[in-house]
Structure 1
C-alpha cells in the first residue's frame, strides 16, 4: 500500500473532513457498486445482501421494491437510455427491465467481476474471473454472446469503452493497460506498464482523447492514441480503487482504501478543495450527469456528496515540489 502523502491537500483541509449531503439506507450488508441513471434523479446500488436497490434522490427513499437474486450482485451498469440494469455475479449476469423490475435475460457466463454498456447500448462487456480473466461481449437485446472473448496480454481487471464504441481499454493485473479494437480484437495501444500493481479502474474522457487509470500508486492520465503519459500522477494515501469523470471532462472523482472521496482538476492535477471522508473502504464512485454530485458506497449505505462546497487549492507546497524533483 502506498505511503505517499496527498500532494495537494493542505493540513488545514485535512482537519476539516466533510460528511455526505445525503445517505441512502436500506441494504442489510455492504454496498459494492453504485451507478447513476441518465435522468440524474435515480441511482442504483448493489450489495452483498443479494439485492439491487433503485433510489429516488430527491426523497432519499427506495423507488419500488429491491431487485432480488440468488447470488451476490457485484458490479452494476445502467443502459444509456436508462431502461435496463445489468448486474454481474458469481454465475454470470442478469439484465433487468428498469420499469417492470423483471429479469429480461439471465446469462450463464461464469463469474462476472466488472461490466459496462457500450455507448450505443448495443453491447455489454463483462470481465470474467474464471480461469483466465478476459473480456466477453454480449448482445444487450438478445443476451447472446458476441464474438470470441477479447484477450489481452495479462489478466483483465477492469474495462471501459471508448466513447465512440470502437475500442475497449482494459486494466491488467500486471500494472499495465491495453486497448483493443472491438471488431478485430487486435491490440491498438499497449500493453503499457505505468503502474506497479493491479490497475483497479480505467475510464476515458468524454472526448476520448485521454485515458485515466487508477492503482496502488495513484491515478495516471494517458494520451489514448499514443499511450504516452500526460502530466504527473495524482495520489491518495493508500490504494485507489475507483474513479469517475465528469460529463464535461474537467474533473475526476476517486476513492479507495484511505476512506476518502477526492475530486481532481484534470488539467492542473490539483485536488479540488477538501476530501470527503467515508466510514470504510470505497469500491465505487460516480458523478451525476450534471457534474454536481458524487455517489459512493459507504459501508451498508450509499452516500451522496455535494461538490459545490469545493474550491480549487491555490498552491502546491515546497515539500511536494521537492518530492517531484527527485
Structure 2
C-alpha cells in the first residue's frame, strides 16, 4: 500500500508544458481545469485507487498531478465546494486524464423542510382525521409526530415535527387548511399542514390535552385537558379567550353542528352542555360511568356519549324523549364518530371491536374484530371510507360497501437504527430493531422491498458498497450479512473470525465459543473500503475486524485496549481507517497490515460517530461531551470545535461536497454547520428523544434522518 500527499514530479511538468502527446511509461497523470476559465485548479485531492494500492495526490498551482504507477485504477478528483466532470475515471496501465471542475453554489438551508417520511408511526396512533378532499389521512402518535398519508395508496408522504411530547389529539379546521394538534405536555400547535409549517403554538394547559374541536365557522378552537378545563382559543389572533372550569379531568368535547353549543365530558361521569353565546352551562347530567367520548350528529342536536364501561347512549339534548342505548361493547369506548350524512355511528372500544350502528334502525349493522386496541377512528368526508389507528402503530383504511380493509399503512415496527443511500441516489435502505431491512424508492416515496430471514435480533448498522452492488448489515445477533443490490437474498454471512483467549474451568485456551457469528458481541458499525474489496466492522467485543468481502474471511483484527468500539470509518482514498468508542481518543490506522499511525486527542467523552470529508483531508467526530470536532488529518490536529448541542451528539455527516456538516443529537435537534467557519447555519428541533442517524442524498439536496 502506498500513500503520497503532494507528488508533482518534474517529469510530468516537462511532459505537459512541452505538449507531449505520448504518455510516459508507468505514469498516471492529468490536469484539472476550471470550467469557467479553463485555468488549472490548485489544491484538488486526487484519489487513485487500485487493487490494494491507494494514492492521495494534490494538484499544483496549474492543476497538474501525477504518480508513478501501473495497473487498473479508479481516479477520483475531490475538492471541498466543487463538483467534477467526470466524477471519476477508470484507467488501465499508464495514461493521462483531464477533469473539469465547477464551483458549487452555497445552499440556502432556510428553505429546507420535511419533504417526505418513509415509515409508519413507531408508537401507537392516538388520533386520525381526513383532509376535506379525502385524499390524505392525518394521524397523531405517541412518537411525537403527525403523519400525512395518501389515502389512495397508503404511503406516508410527510410528517409534522415540532411538539415535545406524545401527540394525543387532532382536529382539522372546517375549510381544511389548518390542523390543530394537542400533546401530552399540554401544548397545542396550529399547522398549515400542507406546507408543513407551524403557525401558532398555545401553552395554556398544564396537563395532557385530551381532545380538540373547531367551531363550525373555523374561528375558534376548543381544547379539553386533564387540568380540569376546557379552553377556547381565537385562532387568527393566537390567543386564549375563555377557560371553562370542570370538576375532574375533561376527557372529551364536541361542537354541535350549528355551532351554538359545546358538549364536554369528564372522568367524573358528567356531561355538560355550554351555550357559546354567553358561555353558560345550560344543561348537565351524570352518565353511568366516566365519559370517554362525545360526538354531535352533523345535522341534529343528537349527542352520542360513550363511557368507561362500554355503554353508548344517544340523546336529543333539548328533548324530553328518552336517550337510546346502543349495547354491545364490553370495554371502554375510545372513540365515537358519525358519518357525514348522520346515518351511521362508528364506535371503537377497548374490547378490540369496532362497531357500525345504523341510527335509523337503532341497531348494530357491522362489527369488526380488531387485533388491537383501536384508539382513533375517523370517517372520510364522502362517508364511504373510514380510518382506524391504535396501539399496533398501524393505520387501517376501510371501505363501507362492501365492508373490507382496503389498505394498511405500515413501516418498521420498532426503532429504525441505520440508513444508507445507494450511490446512484435511487434507493434508501433502512435497518431496524424489528430485524428487517427495507428498500425505499426515493422517486416514488414508497417502500420497494423488504429483506427478512437473516438477522434474528435488532439491526444496528447497514451500508451500501461504493459501487452500489452490495448492501452490508450488522446487528445485535453478532452477525454480518451481505445482500445483493436488488434485495432478493443474502449473498454471504461472515463467520471466519479471529480466535480470542478465554478462561474456563479447565484452564486457559484460544477458542471461539460461538462459531456461527462474526463478532463476540453486537456489530455496531460497518464501513467499506473505496474499492469495495474490504469491509471494516466495529463491535462491542472491543475489536475492529477487516474482512475480504468476496471471501467472507477476516484478514485483520484491531483491539481497543479501553473497551467497546462504536464507530469505524474508512478514508475515501482507502489508505486510512479511523475508529473510536469507549475512551476519548480517535485512532487512525493503516488497514493492511493493521498499524496505528495517529491518535487524535481532545474529546472529553466517548466517541459516538465518525465521518470523513469526501477529499479525505478532514475527519469529523461526534462525542458524549456534546461537541463535534473537525480534525486536519495531514497535520494531526484539531481544526474546529462545534458546540451547541446539549446532549450526546449521536451522528455527524458531511454533505457530498463536504462544505457543510449535519449533526444529530439526543437533545432532539438536527444542526447544519459551515465546516470551516464553525458557524451554525440552521437548527431543526422537535425530534422526540433524539436522532439516531442521518444520510445526505448523493446530490446533497436532501437528507434523511431517524428518530431515537
Would you call these one fold, judging by a TM-score over 0.5?
yes
Q: 2:268 aligns with which of 157, 163, 174?
A: 174
Is residue 406 of structure 2 the alignment partner of residue 309 of structure 1?
no
- Alpha-carbon distance change, 227 to 34 in structure 1, aligned in 2, over 3 angstroms: farther
Q: How far apart in 2 are the matches of 1:303 and 1:25?
A: 15
In the superposition, the TM-score normalised over structure 2's length comes to 0.38
Q: How far apart in 1 are the matches of 2:322 and 2:160?
A: 42
Q: Could you list the per-position Cα deviations for residues 227-251 of structure 1 after superposition, in whole angstroms to 9, with x for gaps in the alignment?
A: 7533333321222221100111110
- Alpha-carbon distance change, 144 to 54 in structure 1, aligned in 2, over 3 angstroms: same
- Structure number with the bigger relative contact order (C-alpha 8 A, sep ≥ 6) is 1
Deviation at 1:154, TM superposition (A): 5.4
User: What corresponds to 1:40 in structure 2?
Assistant: 134
User: What corresponds to 2:211 in structure 1?
Assistant: 114
Q: 2:319 aligns with which of 226, 233, 240?
A: 226
SS at match of 2:156: coil
Deviation at 1:66, TM superposition (A): 3.9
Equivalent runs, 1:2-17 vs 2, <5 Å? none
Q: 1:127 aligns with which of 202, 217, 224?
A: 224
Measured on the aligned residues, the alpha-carbon RMSD in Å equals 1.9
Q: How far apart in 2 are the matches of 1:114 and 1:256?
A: 17
Q: Could you list the per-position Cα deviations for residues 66-124 of structure 1 after superposition, in whole angstroms to 9, with x for gaps in the alignment?
A: 43432211101111111111110113201111221111011112232211111111111
8 Å contact 1:53–1:67 — kept in the other structure?
no
Q: How far apart in 2 are the matches of 1:138 and 1:161?
A: 14
Deviation at 1:162, TM superposition (A): 1.0
SS at match of 1:308: coil
8 Å contact 2:121–2:143 — kept in the other structure?
yes
User: What corresponds to 1:272 in structure 2?
Assistant: 365
Equivalent runs, 1:128-207 vs 2, <5 Å? 128-130=225-227, 133-147=228-242, 149-152=243-246, 155-189=249-283, 191-193=284-286, 195-207=287-299
Deviation at 1:45, TM superposition (A): 0.4
8 Å contact 1:159–1:169 — kept in the other structure?
yes
User: What corresponds to 2:143 in structure 1?
Assistant: 49
Q: How far apart in 1 are the matches of 2:260 and 2:301?
A: 14
**Larger strand fraction of residues:** 2
Q: How far apart in 1 are the matches of 2:169 and 2:305?
A: 18
Deviation at 1:212, TM superposition (A): 0.6
Q: How far apart in 2 are the matches of 1:293 and 1:243?
A: 15
- Alpha-carbon distance change, 91 to 211 in structure 1, aligned in 2, over 3 angstroms: closer
Q: How far apart in 1 are the matches of 2:277 and 2:225?
A: 19
In the superposition, the TM-score normalised over structure 1's length comes to 0.81
Q: 1:283 aligns with which of 371, 375, 378?
A: 375
Q: How far apart in 2 are the matches of 1:154 and 1:292?
A: 37
8 Å contact 1:220–1:229 — kept in the other structure?
no
Q: How far apart in 1 are the matches of 2:247 and 2:226?
A: 15
Deviation at 1:32, TM superposition (A): 0.9
Q: How far apart in 2 are the matches of 1:117 and 1:156?
A: 17
Q: Could you list the per-position Cα deviations for residues 103-159 of structure 1 after superposition, in whole angstroms to 9, with x for gaps in the alignment?
A: 1011112232211111111111011222xx111001111210112x12346542210
- Alpha-carbon distance change, 28 to 155 in structure 1, aligned in 2, over 3 angstroms: closer
Q: Which runs of 5+ in 2 are unaligned?
A: 1-117, 405-708
Q: How far apart in 2 are the matches of 1:217 and 1:238?
A: 5
